[in-house]
Structure 1
Amino acid sequence: MDFMIGVDIGTTSTKVVLFDLKGQMQAVSRQLYPLYHDQPDFAEEDPNEIFTAVVTGLIEVIQKQQLLPADIKGIAFSSAMHSVILMDQADQPLTRVLTCADNRAEKEAEQLKTATQANALFTRTGVPIHPMSPLTKLMWFKQNQPQLLAQAKQIIGIKEYVLWRLFGRYVEDYSIANATGLFNLNTLDWDEPALALAGIKRAQLPQLVDTDYQLKGMNPAIATKIGLAMDTPVIIGASDGTLSNLGLNAIQPGAVAVTIGTSGAVRMVAPTPQVDPAGRLFTYYLDRTHWVIGGPVNNGGVVFQWVRDQLFPAEQAQAQRDGTDLYEKLTQLAAAIPAGSNGLLCQPYFGGERAPLWNAAARGSYFGLTQSHTRAHIVRATLEGIVYNLNAVLQLLQALTDMPLTIQASGGFAHSQLWCQILADVFGQPINIPASIESSALGAVIVGMKSLGYIDSLDEVKTLVTTTRQVQPLAANVAVYQKIMPLWAEVTEKLTAEYAKIAALQQELSRK
């Protein structure tokens, strides 16, 4: 058999997934690495640890299947967006990887939001102004470490670092570039006014290429170590969000992809770039006839993890001793609570928020707590709050595109019947769960297959992705959520004005 490999570089792990040419997953390797929080608002990774994870993952899937170099027809990459690494004149990292979760540029983002050029900048780049974006991160360097920024020979992200280690070239695809805030989505080139804001020069940025671009001539020592031929085609691919839509078969007009992992997102595809006039949704390149529009949320499974660790520590310790998954038990507890959690509402903004608020100072809260509420109510309210927030993004998306909707869902949450049911009930429509939940890696492979001529069009994804099940909304639950969501939105709006105050107070108290 012939195989393709998808490499999905994420914020906390890299997944290397082996597919046959029918899109069926044959093997997977997941390599973890730490996220460093050395200072408040910092969220960094070690680029060498991630490169090691990529190499280790490739070796693992190849050895699992006992593949020969000739069996592997290509490798394609997916990567998390918004990362920044400064490289020195000797092509060594001057910094760690600043990830999308790094909020050090909060002040720069807030200042830019009020600048006269803010609307024009967003219209050209399609990237909401937020500390996540490399543009604002570079503005932070410009303001706080200008000498370090001046030393940078190249300014890249994590995928570009991995490819440099493999091929000795600095190249960046249009999709990842589009997410930097430094890229003009109309010209498909770096945006000079944005570069001026960041305090950098075009020469400090990689060569731009399309998402189907092929690299060959891998470092011989690394190729041999992995078990690859030097001339194995490596397709540069795109960003994980855009590729997830592709891997879910959600690239037709009106098809929406919803993902919940550590974070989450709601996205759909349009044939031309459409920009939200209010700056609340992103517009990212997949290829010249597929543009992904949507909103990312910070607060997905990470909030559920907080509930597990902070409210169920004894149970978590026991689960670790038993080698069991506490999440399954918690969802069973939540399933026994009626829809709406007896009026307990969760604003799940534990890590600031991107869409729909775009407010790094946002904070989480539970509203409506009474003595009758239990830990099980808190678990269910948390799951519901995460989905309420995703629904708020969906409403923005539908208002912009005015398209009928079908929902494709993926991510770790898709393993949970309860969470999928909550999603169907809050959205008020069926949820389709594709067979492969490794949608970004599959999306990368589909781009690679088109680049190599195995398929003629990305639209052929419909022959490669099958739906395993469909979750239907329950009418009684839909009615409850339709009653709750306006109140949830009203509470969120009223608290928004107070987020900056509580964030400032927390910073003040943490210094004492």
Structure 2
Amino acid sequence: MPSLLGIDCGLTVTKAVVFDVSGRQLSVARRRIPQLMPKPHHVERDMHVLWQGTAEAIKEAIAASGRPASDIAAVAATAHGDGLYLLDQDKKPLGAGILSLDSRTAEIIAEWNSNGVAERALELTGQMPTPPAYSSLLAWIKRHDPERFACIGHVLSCKDYLRFCLTGQVATDRTEASVSFTDVKTQKYSDEALALFGLTNLRNALPPVFECAQVAGQVTAEAATLTGLVAGTPVAAGLHDVTASALGMGGHKPGTVAIVAGTYSINQVVSDHPVTGAGWLCRNAVTPGLWNSMAISPASSANYDWFLDTLAKHERDAAGASIHEIVSREIEAALAKPSSVLFHPYLFGSPFGPDASAAFFGLRGWHDRGTMLRAVLEGVIFNHRLHIDDLRGAFSFAEARLTGGPTRNPLFNQLFADILQMPVTVTETDEAASWGAALCAGAAVGLYPSPLADPRDLAAISRVFQPDPARAADVNARYALFLDMAAAMQPFWQRLEALS
């Protein structure tokens, strides 16, 4: 039976996952890729280290699958969206890759917001420029590192760089192409968009655009040696990880809001016509004639991970029970009683601009760790609700689908349903983004009629969490205060940032 390889490279870990054609996961291998922070607001990674780690993960996943590499019918990658991975004219890495956590472009974003560029970009491209978008990062390099800018040969995303390493071919897909430079109406590259950002001379550096489920190259002999794949194995174009996650959890369709609780708060809906607004990014969906509107910010479950890494580190390796089981009991106890504690989950970014920072409010000496963790989880989900409420004003959706690391905990999923005040469906797919990539790989070689033709019985592998009406009044009051405090903090966040 054929198998498929899906690669998913996030902001800290790159993964290789082997699936059979029914969607059953056969193996997974991971490698942590170090982040580089040479200056404040600069978040990067070594591109050679990234490829080496990914190649090792692929080789390990193939070995662990129990099947020969020759069974792999096709490969596709997905990876963190936005950021920047540059090649020079000789197709060699041009400096470090820039991650989507990078916020060096705040000054340029502020200029574009004040001089009308951002407003025109929303009209033309379907989105306001964001700090890690191609447009702002390339404009920053042009201004602050002109020698590097002059050497740019190819502008790639993370997953496009990995596919280049596998195949030697420079390309992108329709979802990644729409990060900055496509016309939202035609879904194709726009010379006007490049001119708007002062980047006209990079037109030839933009990669050719493939459909997500189209073969964009074959594994080279060199890549085969490093990864254990068979040379000549087809490699599909793949897709942006936000879209891949929605596809992998069965949420990439009209009428559904797909939610990813990871490093980023990701909330997305699909429509059959472009709908633009300042609160979301309207980009190309997996297939032509569909648009994916995503409301995002780097303010989700990474806050919970930070809390455990920082304030429960000594218990992480304790024998007998996992730290997640221990703190779940503490959070459940905290939810059973009133609490004045709220948390703004802006450790790594926010929807309120680059100066916003995280904080606990209402904390007293008698509060314990469980109360603080409850506030962290509520703050994370409140931030998701902020984005989803923006989308509710423009789109109609009756179903929410949720994925992300914390969704293994039913308590977290129930909190989502209570705070969003709508049913939330969690699909038992540990590696949703990798499966989304694998669907593209399978469709590219004819195993599926399209990447939307998921062969799994989604109803059989899903659980629906219904909101608790008894909690609605308390949740709404806490959420309203969460928003009011964010508004009140606006003049103070910049002053706090100035202290650093």
TM-score range, shorter chain: over 0.9
Superposition pairs of residues 335-346 of structure 1, within 5 angstroms: 335-338=332-335, 342-346=339-343
Relative to structure 2, which stretch is displaced further, 144-153 or 207-216? 207-216
Query: What is the distance in 1 between the residues matched to 2:235 and 2:41?
Result: 35
Query: What is the distance in 1 between the residues matched to 2:427 and 2:486?
Result: 32
Tell me the residue number matched to 2:490: 496
Query: What is the distance in 2 between the residues matched to 1:47 and 1:37?
Result: 14
Q: Is the 8 A contact 1:75 1:448 kept in 2?
A: yes
What is the aligned length?
496
In structure 2, give the amino acid aligned to 1:291. W
Query: What is the distance in 2 between the residues matched to 1:218 and 1:451?
Result: 15
Superposition pairs of residues 183-202 of structure 1, within 5 angstroms: 183-196=182-195, 197-199=197-199, 200-202=201-203
Alignment partner of 1:232 is 2:233: yes
Query: What is the distance in 1 between the residues matched to 2:321 and 2:46?
Result: 30
Cα RMSD (Å) of the superposition? 2.0
SS of residue paired to 2:347: coil
SS of residue paired to 1:67: coil
Tell me the residue number matched to 1:477: 471
SS of residue paired to 2:238: strand
Tell me the residue number matched to 1:114: 114
Q: Is the 8 A contact 1:259 1:411 kept in 2?
A: yes
Q: Is the 8 A contact 2:213 2:450 kept in 1?
A: no
Question: TM-score, with normalisation over the residues of structure 1?
Answer: 0.92
Where in structure 1 are there 5+ consecutive unaligned residues?
508-512
In structure 2, give the amino acid aligned to 1:260. A
Query: How much has 1:225 moved relative to structure 2?
Result: 4.1
SS of residue paired to 1:256: strand
Tell me the residue number matched to 1:87: 87
Tell me the residue number matched to 1:104: 104
Query: What is the distance in 1 between the residues matched to 2:323 and 2:13?
Result: 21
Superposition pairs of residues 69-218 of structure 1, within 5 angstroms: 69-179=69-179, 181-196=180-195, 197-199=197-199, 200-218=201-219
In structure 1, give the amino acid aligned to 2:471. N
Query: What is the distance in 1 between the residues matched to 2:191 and 2:326?
Result: 53
Change (3 A) 1:117 1:221: closer
Superposition pairs of residues 236-247 of structure 1, within 5 angstroms: 236-247=237-248
Where in structure 2 are there 5+ consecutive unaligned residues?
none
Q: Is the 8 A contact 2:282 2:293 kept in 1?
A: yes
1:211-269: CA deviation from partner (whole Å, max 9, x where unpaired):
12203442213224433332211111110001111111113322111111222211111
Alignment partner of 1:377 is 2:371: yes
In structure 2, give the amino acid aligned to 1:327. H
Query: How much has 1:346 moved relative to structure 2?
Result: 1.1
How many percent identity over aligned positions? 23
Alignment partner of 1:405 is 2:405: no
Query: What is the distance in 2 between the residues matched to 1:374 and 1:435?
Result: 32
Query: What is the distance in 1 between the residues matched to 2:238 and 2:38?
Result: 32
Relative to structure 2, which stretch is displaced further, 4-13 or 207-216? 207-216
Q: Is the 8 A contact 1:340 1:381 kept in 2?
A: no
Query: What is the distance in 1 between the residues matched to 2:172 and 2:422?
Result: 38
Query: How much has 1:495 moved relative to structure 2?
Result: 1.6
Change (3 A) 1:318 1:371: closer
Query: What is the distance in 2 between the residues matched to 1:63 and 1:397?
Result: 43
In structure 2, give the amino acid aligned to 1:347. H
Q: Is the 8 A contact 1:5 1:75 kept in 2?
A: yes
Tell me the residue number matched to 1:510: none
In structure 1, give the amino acid aligned to 2:204. A
Q: Is the 8 A contact 2:106 2:131 kept in 1?
A: yes
Q: Is the 8 A contact 1:74 1:235 kept in 2?
A: yes
Which among 380, 386, 397 is matched to residue 380 of structure 2?
A: 386
Q: Is the 8 A contact 2:15 2:29 kept in 1?
A: yes
Change (3 A) 1:262 1:222: same
Q: Is the 8 A contact 1:220 1:230 kept in 2?
A: yes
SS of residue paired to 1:266: strand
In structure 1, give the amino acid aligned to 2:339. N
Query: What is the distance in 2 between the residues matched to 1:347 and 1:148?
Result: 37
Relative to structure 2, which stretch is displaced further, 378-387 or 52-61? 52-61
Q: Is the 8 A contact 2:56 2:226 kept in 1?
A: no
Alignment partner of 1:361 is 2:358: no
SS of residue paired to 1:114: helix
Alignment partner of 1:444 is 2:398: no
Change (3 A) 1:339 1:367: farther
